[in-house]
Amino acid sequence: MTIEQFRKLALALPDCEEGSHHDHPDFRCGGRVFATIHPGGETGMVKVPPGAQSELVAHDSPFRPANGAWGRAGCTLVDLPQVTQSVLRGAMQEAWQFAAAMGASKRAKK
């Protein structure tokens, strides 16, 4: 998986916008970050529900929780050279759905 393939998967999702977060590319749905590309291009991040994160990091996977509170909130790092496009597509769709649901929930509370 390359940076451009990661970007293409993210931007193919409905209402996705590319921005910048801490000086690296991020991808948002409804203003909520669901994926990022870390500096250096070897690592990406998808923010998924904690239950989905447990499934992604199981066994000998290219996924691992981010450190600290970020990881506990679902931020899941992915080793881009080790992940297949189909596996990352599923994780990114999960992250996009999570962001869309969180955005809808926030709008409903207003």
Distance CA 52, CA 73 (A): 11
pLDDT of residue 60: 78
- Give the span between the Cα atoms of 35 and 76, in whole angstroms: 9
Q: What is the pLDDT of residue 108?
A: 47
pLDDT, one tens digit per residue, over 21-74 is 788 999 999 889 999 999 988 999 999 998 999 999 987 799 999 999 999 999
CA distances from 28 to 16, 58, 59, 62 (A): 5, 26, 29, 23
Q: What is the mean pLDDT of residues 78-96?
A: 96
Average pLDDT, the chain: 91
Phi, psi for residue 10 in degrees, rounded to 5: -65, -50
3-class state of residue 69 by DSSP:
helix
Q: Which two tokens stand for residue 48?
A: 């998924």
CA 55/CA 58 separation, integer angstroms: 5
Give me the percent of the chain exceeding a pLDDT of 70: 93
Domains of the chain: 3-103 (3.90.1150.30)
Share of the chain above pLDDT 90, in %: 77
Structure tokens at 7: 């970007």
pTM: 0.89
